[in-house]
Structure 1
Amino acid sequence: MGTANENWWPRLVNGGSRCDGRVEVYENGSWGRVQDTLWDLNDSHVVCRQLGCGHALETYKSSQYEESDGRPWVYDIQCHGQESQLRDCRISGPLNSSVADSSDVVILCSEHIQLKLSDGGSPCAGRVEIYYNGTWGSVCDDSWDMIDAEVVCKQLGCGHVMDMSLPSSYEPGSGPVWLKDVKCSGNESFLWECPSAQLGHQDDCSHKEDVRIMCSDHKEMRLVNGKNRCEGRVEVFYNKTWGTVCSESLDFHDAAVICKQLHCGVLVDVSYDNKLFGAGTGPIWLGEIDCTSHESSLWKQTHERVISRGRG
């Protein structure tokens, strides 16, 4: 197998994994991004195969990817699709860069894998889902335990596992069940590194058995005791408990961000009268708020140091 310092070795960059992203090739000591007006799925199959990324699911042109240091290289590459390496294809170029459009070649290979938690109120709670073979699917809960859940929370940067018994009222999955019989040691960086059945469609698992977890960094917000969901006392869910927000530091700008985060439109009024919506109970989770009103959520400008039991 070749190495990445060989001429015409490809790589995929700025995607979600090494099997997704903009095509770049190594030639004469430097990397350059490929621009080829005739690039097709056969060319993409060869790149995916050479990188050990399965087969190509999608290929398209994009100018949205982050710029690289490498200059654009314009080629006319024609593969049959069965070649083991890109340099085995017929290659004309590099051509005059003036004939290039501004779009880079982008590939999605079948071995591109992602992980997320869905329908749980934040990126750190919900149904465990894996993106594989171009489709989001779920994980079967047979043999699932706390160690497996810890690997998910760690991989997502969501702290540690808090709960593995989320209510079945959470939305069921709709895609395939991609994984079952997961048996992690706890040292893995990715869920798919754990000893388990091979990634693929698990016909003997239903979506009633989808894994749902909550990690320690899960946070939610709501307004309570109002006439509708867009009016009331601000409450924050953190550390498995609903608590309140310190009113001493919450001003008009902060409240405007809360309305935006809850998809409740434009802020109309802020009240600090406990008689209006009732006094809160539980811990005071959030203080020292200083929004500019341009943030999309309160979490964009707060840090873990301000989430604590305290006085408001």
Structure 2
Amino acid sequence: SALHIFPDSVRLENGSSRCSGRLEVKSNNSWSSVCEDDFDLLDAEVVCRELDCGAPSVLQGALYGEAEAPILTREFSCEGHESVLLDCGSSWRKTKACPPDKAVGLTCSDSVRLENGSSRCSGRLEVKSNNSWSSVCEDDFDLLDAEVVCRELGCGAPSVLQGALYGEAEAPILTREFLCEGHESVLLDCGSSWRKTKACPPDKAVGLTCSGKAAS
């Protein structure tokens, strides 16, 4: 089968990256918006996974403007494990038309990533800060922080946390210690403090494996 890197059946329009925007779904070769009433967090999990954008962090109508495409009268009923939205069950909605300001807007987490691993659920941790990616020092990261990262990526719980597991840092290393309590939904919601000690050697960049399997 043909390898495709980006899906061609869902997209997020009008956002700051391909991981945020107004949801549009391709149906009969044309793009349609989706009504807020017909879409829930389980559906959003599937879309974020399909786009390889981690887990949903914000789901709200009209977050990225009103619908420009026609709005589907179709309600998605994903269970959350599907790899693409069009694999989910759906039913035709019998109620009235959906107003354009109720078109679903969705933000998937795109502030953390795992690089150089066998899937997006394992690798050397990089965090987006000031629009560029940085590695994290092993000394500044613990299991509670790892729990948050694995959850943010939609990858289950941490199973291995070790420096240099996936090679030395290629990005600059943050001098920032994360202070997660474990319940936060994204790493950048955690408290943090600036580390005052010396620079972190590149072989101390955190490598992390989460227990969940990424959808291929």
TM-score by length of 1: 0.36
When you count strand as a share of all residues, which structure comes out higher? 2
Bigger radius of gyration among the two: 1
TM-score by length of 2: 0.49
